[in-house]
Structures are given as structure tokens and as C-alpha cells.
Amino acid sequence: MGNWCLVLVVILVTVFRASAQGELRTGFYSSSCPQAESIVRSTVEAHFNKDPTIAAALLRLHFHDCFVRGCDGSVLISGSSAERVALPNTGLRGFEVIEDAKSQLEALCPTTVSCADILALAARDAVDLSSGPSWGVPTGRRDGRISKSSEASNLPSPFDSIDVQRQKFAAKGLDDHDLVTLVGAHTIGQTDCLFFRYRLYNFTATGNADPSINQAFLTQLQTLCPKNGDPSKKVALDKDTQLGFDVSFFKNVRDGNGVLESDQRLWGDESTRKIVEKYAGTIRGLLGLRFDFEFQKAMIKMSSIEVKTGTQGEIRKVCSKFN
């Protein structure tokens, strides 16, 4: 009888730990806050209608959040030493969209929907509004209680070689396929002249342009970003369809029309080139759909990195500060 009691206690403790740990699942708020996803969607849509470039900003915000301490909303915290002020996070925006959705959710369902989940949902809605795919977002994340700028050094950089990109993604459980697929989000992105102008005029300190840039595109970029021009001028990462979520980004990389060095390097590595080729084929419809499908899978995988669930972390009342 004593042994059976011991076994029962072990089982109960195991079950309790499992339930406390929890897992992400679609429809997590179906009972606790049924309108959660629709409120996030309407909020993103309202901001998107005023400024369609906010879609790429929200996608980038979620990506940068997940690469530091996992997808726990730590990038949303404000403060002089917080994650969002780190150099790799320069130019992050869209914080007001998350705060807007959070304030509405707090009024309707106090201390229920995490900022980390709002970020994940907003990223999905941003892609959908840009004529990209939509997918069921597993939710149930909780917000982290730590945010340090010093921990953001592992974020991918536009200057990274393929080996460095591969290492940074692998550290988060993401492989080459995930890397190329997620970088495809640059189809709706933009960047500053500051981050690629060296490729146009003084690549590797030679005084010449990066030879991997298509000559006609080089002329376009030099017109957009003069040698001594405004370093903060914005340039589309996809020269053809900046606001449309499609495969033209991969065609650009294939053709030497990648803006960032890190993007163009995808073509120079045998493993990543094969994946770019798959997405950049000539049949727009079929290959576009394939990228849509693969992007959904990669986003679900990325948005599950080191998540906090169950009793871990907290549910913030305001996304920019800890409770």
C-alpha cells in the first residue's frame, strides 16, 4: 500500500509539473479571452492602413524578440539598459502597435493575454495583410522578467557571413532551411543606406563595388545612396514588390540584386543556394505557394524558441515595463 501511495505521489507531481510548464497551442485564449486574436488583428490592420511598411517592422520586432531570451516580449521593455536599446536593435519600430492592442486587451481581459503572444499574432497578421500566408499561431507564451541590452549581441547582422548566420540560427535550433525561409521575410523589408553603402563604393576596403552585385542594380543603388548622401535613407530590400509578400526577393538574390551583403551571400553557399533556387524558380504560382507553406512552418518553429509557459514569467499589464 505504501509503495502504491509513493507511485501516486510521483504521478501527481509529474502531472502538476507538466501542467505548470504548459505548452503552446492554437486557441489558447478561446475561453479566457475569446476576442484576443480579433483585437490584435484589427489593431494591426488599423496601423497597416495608415502605413503598410509597419508590417515588416512588426515581423522584425518578433524576430528580434525571439533571438534574445526566446519569444518572451523582452524586446518590448523600455529602459537605458534594456534589450531594445542595443545596437543590433537600432531602428526597431512598431512598439506602439503592440501597446495599442495590449491596452484594449487589458480593458477587456485584464492580465490574461501576454505581450509575447500579441507580438507573435501581430507578426502573423502583418504577413497576411501584405498578401502573404496566414496560419494558426500557437499561443500561451508568458512574458519574461529580464531584458538586457548586453544579451542582444547574438542577433543576426547584415554583415554576417553565411557561416556566422548559420551558427546564430543553429544556436536557436534553426537549420539552413529555416534560415533561408525566414530571411525571405525581407520581401517586405527596407533598410538604411548605412547598412549596405560600403558594398557600392569600398567593398572590403578595395575602393570598388562588391562584384556580386548585378551591374545594372549597382547603378540603381548608387543613385539611391550617393557616396556622401543621407545614411538613414530607406531602401526596399525587394526592388520589385516592396509591399507584397512573394518570392521576388529570392529571384533578386539569384540575379545579384540582393541589397544586404548577408542576403546576397545566400547565393554563394552551396547549401543555402539550393533553397534559394527552389523558391526563385520561374513558375510564380506554384513556387510562391511553396514558399508560403514553408514560411508558415518556419515561423511557428521560430516563435516557439525558448518560450515561457505555465507559471513561468508573468503576464505584463503594460508591455514596456515589468509588473
Q: Are 62 and 95 in contact (CB under 8 A)?
A: no
As a whole number of angstroms, the distance between CA 25 and CA 67 comes to 21
Quote the cell numbers at residue 226: 550617393
Quote the cell numbers at residue 8: 501516486
Quote the cell numbers at residue 158: 547584415
Tally of helices (H runs) and strands (E runs) in the chain: 13, 2
Q: Which residues are catalytic?
A: 64
Q: Which residue has the cell 504577413?
A: 127
Q: Are 40 and 94 in contact (CB under 8 A)?
A: no
Residue 173: CA count within 13 A, CB half-sphere = 12
DSSP string, 284-322: HHHHHHHHHHHHHHHHHHHTTTT---TTSSB--SBTTB-
As a whole number of angstroms, the distance between CA 11 and CA 204 comes to 61
**Residues ≥6 apart with Cβ < 8 Å to 84:** 75, 76, 77, 78, 92, 95, 147, 149
Give the phi and the psi of residue 314 in degrees, each rounded to 5.
Answer: -155, 175
Q: How many CB atoms lie within 10 A of CB 90?
A: 11
